[in-house]
Structure 1
């Protein structure tokens, strides 16, 4: 029913999590070369209207009521914030007495209209991948005019006023941000951003793992360094 899609309910820290994608296809302000979803043919950072929203909301309500959910995780094909009905979606979830986690790449967290929406959520996940301007433009291919400096600043300023739990997801990419110099830059960003939780991960998609993936041992080394910051 509707355009939303769901992952199977899973348990996280003893809670039943319902993960929902609220975009019918990929809509994003980035076009990362390693995105598992594929190219961004809808490269946008403004609100977008989608069909069947009424039935999609009813479907979400049914999923919540029929699955004894403890938390709803909005994790979409691209940037979920561009769905122009996202406030309605969050309000529906909150009306059921459930917390909301939202994954955003983080760039739009510098705009007032999106700050207001993100502040409705109990948890926000932001992301860091490239840590130089050249690499940011090369591998994340953002909308023209975006800069890495503004990207990081948007998340830092957002978190200073955010009352919920801010989670920073750091993806370590071989040849781009896995050197000691790069890790030190990431450490500085984390110190300034002051997230509540850090998730360090690597490329796991088989299409990119060989060229951009790092070893388990190296990921463990980097994770220990980053997790010790907070």
Structure 2
């Protein structure tokens, strides 16, 4: 029985993308109040064993062949790096001559074992959602001892040595990082991390949108401010 789950193949630019979740249930090093998956009952930042992946890899191979996938996007329930077979999964995909994109929240990208795994990927996505230490602890509820400064530094140090494409996703949240002071702080973070691509996102889930969503107009203003100014650094 396979523990993987999938989204339908979709086109991105000229590539056929297959998005796969490799975790059977949520495992994450954060417990964000606005996570669309829900609470983190398994808050971990070290690797964990799941069932054997032979049947999961066979299903993945079938999905790749039938969908003619060109890019495999590992976008899991929580932090995919805690799956102890993620190295094998990436190797399996790469052996087929396909590209791999890995979504990580970014905190673990300073640890040697996770750096080695992530370096195998053609693209790595890191993310940020709040911009003050108080908010980080309050709403992202990380494992004890985590700090926002280290979070940002971990992504910056990883990207300095990374040879692939580092994508930085910034989620704008009403009341947390949508004011002008926060936007200036985000610009400084972008400069520190120096990503190859920036994605400006916002709360889209209906249950969070009313309280934490920003207007279309404000979204456009912030996107323009971040995307126009970043290339001036």
Class of the TM-score when normalised by the shorter of the 2 chains: over 0.9
- What is the CA-CA distance between 1:192 and the residue it aligns to? 1.3
1:69 corresponds to: 69
The normalised TM-score by structure 1 is 0.99
Gaps of 5+ in 2: none
- What is the CA-CA distance between 1:115 and the residue it aligns to? 0.4
**TM-superposition CA deviations, 1:8-43 (whole Å, max 9, x none):** 000110211000000000000000000000000000
1:54 corresponds to: 54
Stretch of structure 1 that moved more, 138-147 or 47-56:
47-56
User: Is 1:218 the equivalent of 2:218?
Assistant: yes
- Counterpart-to-counterpart distance in 1, 2:210 and 2:15: 34
- Counterpart-to-counterpart distance in 1, 2:95 and 2:225: 40
User: Is 1:87 the equivalent of 2:87?
Assistant: yes
Gaps of 5+ in 1: none
The normalised TM-score by structure 2 is 0.97
**TM-superposition CA deviations, 1:60-83 (whole Å, max 9, x none):** 112112221110000000000000
1:97 corresponds to: 97
- Counterpart-to-counterpart distance in 2, 1:227 and 1:102: 22
- What is the CA-CA distance between 1:52 and the residue it aligns to? 3.7
- What is the CA-CA distance between 1:94 and the residue it aligns to? 0.3
- What is the CA-CA distance between 1:59 and the residue it aligns to? 1.1
1:33 corresponds to: 33
Number of equivalenced pairs: 230
Instruction: Give structure 1 regions of 4+ aligned residues with deviation exceeding 6 angstroms.
Output: none
- What is the CA-CA distance between 1:112 and the residue it aligns to? 0.5
2:139 corresponds to: 139
- Counterpart-to-counterpart distance in 1, 2:3 and 2:166: 28
1:200 corresponds to: 200
- Counterpart-to-counterpart distance in 2, 1:72 and 1:87: 14
The secondary structure found in structure 1 opposite 2:201 is strand
The secondary structure found in structure 2 opposite 1:219 is helix
The secondary structure found in structure 2 opposite 1:113 is helix
1:160 corresponds to: 160
